[in-house]
Amino acid sequence: MSRIEEALAKAAGMQSGLHSKGNRAGVSGIARAPMGEPTSVGGVRLAEETMVVINAPLSPMAEEYRKLKEALVKMTKRERFDNLIAVTSSTAGEGKSMTAVNLAASLAGEYDHTVLLVDADLRRPSVHKYLGLGSCKGLSDCMREGLDVGELLVKTGIGKLSVLPAGTPTPNPVELFSSDAMRSLFREMKIRYGDRYIIVDTPPVLPFAETRSIASIVDGVILVVKEGMPNLEQIEEAIDALDQKVLGIVYNGAHLQNRSSYYYAE
């Protein structure tokens, strides 16, 4: 059995695994559709089709994110609090950013959890779009100009969720992420915000080198795999590239035979 087959089998069989299924496109049926007209929560404009944790908290899709959240909490709060978690995928278009945003919102909705969501996908930032934050300074400006992280955090009004946006576009992100400044910044965030989860949305691991640099620093990685997109060889290559940090696999966009099995009636 290959390493990816072993990883998939382990993810599927673990009680606290991060394997999550859906019925269309996204964890438990979240549609990767045009955002359309967003709604507003706490002053933040939210995309209907992507922010199911906020817009449809009783839906089967939101329930799958709660399962993912509980699995992550069990795996990271043991002898020490492994609070720095990256979310990535093998290739583009697998739903990693959507997963990162909904996971962060689900965590932040709990009384015990304060969350910082970092958009580290400087090539194709999308967290600010999902949350309707607009363009503002963020991660890239911290690394390039030495700006203080605390001054650039954006409070979302979604529980205890703050966001560090990607920041000013940079022509060559890999140079930033291979620098000592990047390592120092992430270590500083881990220590400075040691009481909260730091969820980091990264670029896809195979096309770009910077995710491998991030993986060497974080405590763990959630790998999002969309049904029908990467092949086993690509997934295996991604796992190898992630420095043995994969906590589990979110299987995104699986087609279920019986969606009604998600519903509970009293």
213 falls within a domain: yes
- Whether 266 maps to a domain, the answer reads no
| CATH number of domain containing 199 | 3.40.50.300
Q: What angle, 0 to 180 degrees and rounded to 10, lies between the N-to-C axes of helices 96-108 and 60-76?
A: 80
152 domain residue, yes or no: yes
Instruction: Print the SS3 string covering 191-213.
Output: HHCCCCEEEEECCCCCCCCHHHH
The pTM of this model reads 0.78
Alpha-helix runs per DSSP H in the chain: 3-13, 52-55, 60-76, 96-108, 127-131, 139-145, 149-152, 173-177, 180-192, 210-215, 232-241
Q: Fill in the DSSP letter of residue 99.
A: H
Within 10 Å of residue 135's Cβ, how many Cβ atoms? 12
Q: Is residue 156 part of a domain?
A: yes
Separation CA 143–CA 265 (nearest Å): 51
Which two three-digit tokens encode residue 228? 């029908």
Q: Structural domain of residue 91, as residue ranges?
A: 3-258
Q: What angle do CA 1, 219, 227 make, to 5 degrees?
A: 45
Fill in the DSSP letter of residue 261: G
Note down pLDDT in tens along the chain; length 266 residues. 444 455 555 544 433 344 443 333 333 322 222 223 333 334 443 444 566 666 666 667 777 878 888 888 888 876 678 899 999 999 999 989 989 998 999 999 887 889 999 999 999 999 988 888 878 899 999 999 999 999 999 999 888 999 999 999 988 898 889 888 899 999 999 999 988 999 999 999 999 999 999 999 999 999 999 888 999 999 999 999 998 899 989 887 765 444 443 333 33
Would 113 be classed as within a structural domain? yes
d(CA 149, CA 162): 11
67: left (phi over 0), alpha (psi -120 to 50) or beta: alpha
CA dihedral for 21, 23, 28, 32, sign (positive or negative): positive
Q: Is residue 265 part of a domain?
A: no
Is 70 part of a structural domain of the chain? yes
Total structural domains within the chain: 1
264 assigned to some structural domain: no
